[in-house]
Amino acid sequence: MKLKVCGLKYPDNIKQVAELNPDYMGFIFYEQSKRYVGENFIMPEIAGNINKVGVFVNASAESISEKVNKYKLNFVQLHGDETPEFCAQIAAFTKVIKAIGVDETFDLNTLNGYKKSCTYFLFDYKTETYGGSGKPFDWSILEKYDNEVPYFLAGGMDIEKFRAVSKMNLKIHAIDVNSRAEIKPGYKDIIKIIQIRNNIR
């Protein structure tokens, strides 16, 4: 199982997290997010083995392409109402992670249209607004998922939730850690990240 640390915005903290060698680091390019990196963001030097993920919400393909090139992003995570057709458009120039909101009414068949263009899915608690909620959903829903496209698991992930979900028979590609391992929005608690990383590895 791999580790993704998402919602980073402060250069010194980004460097601290990068030293922990997570598999993925996420940077939010959605202006309404508390973890938005800002217009003048400068990406610190990050080891080449760490995948840089840009998080977007209903952005244009042109805007996404510009950010991919400027920040040398390895993945684009789409967290809005993006259609399968739009995901295919983005997949033409970079790898796509499509975020999917899950609740008790979730129908796994809605994923079918996205499977051809998405490298990964990211399953999170379904909310009325865009972005993460910091809440877990009923993970047992994923027991019926066919794993044709590997997935990240998000939703208030901390060490206790990781230990709980690791006891289930789920084929999780990566754990997505964000709000539950922070000192303030966008600034990660290194001790908590280390604790989760050590339990994963």
What is the crossing angle of helices 190-200 and 11-19, to 10°?
30
**Is 118 among the catalytic positions?**
no
Which is catalytic among the residues 6, 87, 118, 176? 6
Which is catalytic among the residues 87, 124, 176, 189? 124
**Is 138 among the catalytic positions?**
no
Residue 23, CB half-sphere, CA atoms under 13 Å: how many? 14
* Residues in contact with 183: Cβ distance below 8 Å, sequence separation at least 6, in sequence order: 189
Cα maximum dimension of the chain: 43
- What backbone torsions phi and psi does residue 16 show, to the nearest 5 degrees? -65, -45
SS3 11: helix
Length of the chain: 201
* Catalytic (active-site) positions: 6, 124
